[in-house]
Amino acid sequence: MSSMKELIRTKENGTISFGNYELPKKEKLDNFEFSGDLYKIKTYKEITKLERNGLFVYESVPGTAVEDFAETESGAEFEVEGSEDAQITLGLEADTEYRVFVDDIDVGTMATNLGGKLSLSVELGNAAKVKVRVEKC
């Protein structure tokens, strides 16, 4: 069962949480302000997508719930949960190599394309929560 009931929310630790994979139909929220940026979230059981200032940040197929999402100069870090395994795409720096960690296990390096997108898969059966960390090499 999803820990998220809102579409997006801020956390006291300076991160955001978003998405709800239990929704049967797509819901969205536009112009959510956080740290001077405007976010747009679309989420339901089939997809979760986050944009910041009109630019791609995160997408998962099928939909997921993301906790403690934080972007840094060197990458991104978050916890993700869902009802089944998910393909996650992150918007990062273009044509750059990143080291990917899933539950603190180094799963190797991956490169972004010219658009800055990096795709990875996570095993999420039974709504398990998985920690993902992506760091620039």
Residue-wise pLDDT for 1-12, tens only, equals 566 678 999 999
Task: Tell me which fold the domain 8-136 belongs to.
Answer: Chondroitinase Ac; Chain A, domain 3 (2.60.220)
Give me the residue spans of the domains in the chain.
Answer: 8-136
pTM score above 0.75: yes
| Residue 75 structure tokens | 């990458």
pLDDT (tens digit, 9 = 90+) per residue, 31-80? 999 999 999 999 999 999 999 999 999 999 999 999 999 999 999 999 99
pLDDT (tens digit, 9 = 90+) per residue, 108-122? 999 999 999 999 999
Integer Cα distance of 26 and 38 in angstroms:
20
